Structure 1
Amino acid sequence: MYNEKELFRRIGESDESAFAVIFHRYKSSLFDYGIKITKSHTAAEELVQECFVKLWLARQNLPAIDNPAGYLHMMARNAGVDYLRRLSLDAGLQKKVWAGISESDNPTLQKVQVSETQRLIDEAVAQLPPQQREVFLLSRYEGLNYEQIGEQLGIAGNTVKNHLVKALKFVREYLGKKYGNPIVLVLVTFPGLLFIN
């Protein structure tokens, strides 16, 4: 068992196994903290994703951190404050969140959220062939099923499914190649947009 400071030093050297240890050690406590702030299961997952994605992308700074646990919780607090700041732009949405309504029932709230994780996914989606990208966007952002997408694009439902499977595989592989397996680990744990459902 390594202490957190040693793990941060190793992560700073791009040690993926050290990142995995930190991720598994802290994901639950950061998620619990996210629930307290956002009152939303989905928003808390987004908060945890954002913290760990940022941690990996800025890993060269980690060896200088003296208190890794404090650093992670500060990241979560900052992500929570950013979330609430975005939310405060719409008082009605804020009331709904504080009342405990799930954002999965609130597509407007989903659109309010902007995160590093979403930016990376958008970057990968932009690399897809046009029809795969269209299928991905209609499925993941418009919430259409295979048949609805097929009708809209004039293709069979099975063709839609094949396009979506290929698109999701490409996005996961793109993120893994460009940003490393730790980013994929975070997205697999909190899958959101990147898995068939």
Structure 2
Amino acid sequence: MIDLQEIALKIRSGDKHAFEVLFRHSYGTMCGYAKKYIADTDEAEGIVQDVFVNFWERRDAIEISDSIEAYLYRSVRNSCLNQLKHSQVKAKYAMEQVLAYKNTDAVTTDTLEDLELQQKIDACIDSLPIERRKIFKLSREDGLKYKEIANELNISIKTVENQMGKALKHLRTHLAEYLPFLVWIILVLKNNFMIWIGVIVFGVVNI
């Protein structure tokens, strides 16, 4: 059992070893906490890492009124909420774009076909590494749960989670420019195939 109060004092004085001890002690639980807000594993872990980096860089100026763990949990929560707010702002902007297109009849089925959105999605999925693509398709096309995929491929659930997180991040990156059209499909055409793609690009919920 480590003395977190003592660890905090050592970190404030610049003790890197103490910081490493804190990181190893708290990183896993902090990531689990972040995932309650952010479904994407990579993104949640990135937020936690940023919190620790910021804590180290600002160690002299940070005032901790309670415990160091309480401070870290609070920082992780605030960072997650800021990320969700940012994602919601992007979604709101996309909605406004959709309404503008709809009102001017700028977006039609033919236009969507011209954009070859479906081909773009297929290309993104096909560009995934073989094992990651297999896991992704078992989840999205066959509807298997993570535990079922792990049993099917004889791998750990953690591996499935990590690979799915990387696959979703890849799709978000490469499909972000099509967000207004995806939203339009969901709201107007009610295309079920595109619904989960649209949610992936929003970056708010992992289906």
* Greater gyration radius: 2
TM-score calculated relative to the size of structure 2:
0.45
**TM-score with structure 1 length normalisation?**
0.47
